Copies of this chain bind each other. A is one copy, B any other.
């Protein structure tokens, strides 16, 4: 079949299919005398497999190294190992996401838990110091002089401000 029909059957674009070929995911494609690419039916499966693997989080690079030249001759051990690795990777990502989410939720709570008698500015400082885990100094003197403490620590190789 021509690339147009393959595209229709798989839902991919022409350019994407050609790109996969150039990326080495599609092993030498046959040509008709006029130069048109011609594909065997299995190619539909291969492309669907690629798309599925991508959705599962595999990069094209990973997919290329795992895809066998022949759909029925998988490198069994490497495949199983890659699947396990990917599961672990997803797990790690989930852990990070759990943390991020918890942090965001905590932040929301904290912002909304402003004591009635506290003004917004003070609350901003309070929240800020909490999320960054450090003291946030309140600007005391006329703004513009903050950080203008020159000549402190004349130790070699770098000045402060």
Residues of A within 8 A of B (CB): 1-2, 4-5, 38-42, 45, 48-49, 52, 55-57, 71-74, 76, 79-80, 83-84, 86-87, 90-91, 93-94, 97-98, 100-101, 103-105, 107-108, 111-112, 120-121, 124-125, 128, 131-132, 136-137, 146-147, 158-161
Which residues of B sit under 8 angstroms from A57, Cβ to Cβ?
Answer: 97, 100
A57 to B: closest C-beta gap in Å: 6
Q: Out of B41, B101, B128, which one reaches A87, CB within 8 Å?
A: B101
Given A132-B45, A132-B52, A147 contacting B79 (CB threshold 8 A) = no
Chain multiplicity (copies): 2
Smallest Cβ distance from A140 to chain B, in angstroms? 12
A100 to B91, CA, bound (A): 11
Contacts of A121 in B (CB 8 A): 72-73
A5-B158, A41-B146, A124-B73 known; A48-B132 Cβ under 8 A:
yes
Point out the residues of chain B lying under 8 angstroms from A48, CB to CB: 132
Q: How far is the CB of A83 from chain B (nearest CB, A)?
A: 5
Task: Write 9 A-B pairs (CB below 8 A) sorted by A numbering.
Answer: A40-B146, A41-B147, A45-B128, A80-B108, A80-B111, A87-B101, A90-B104, A94-B94, A94-B101
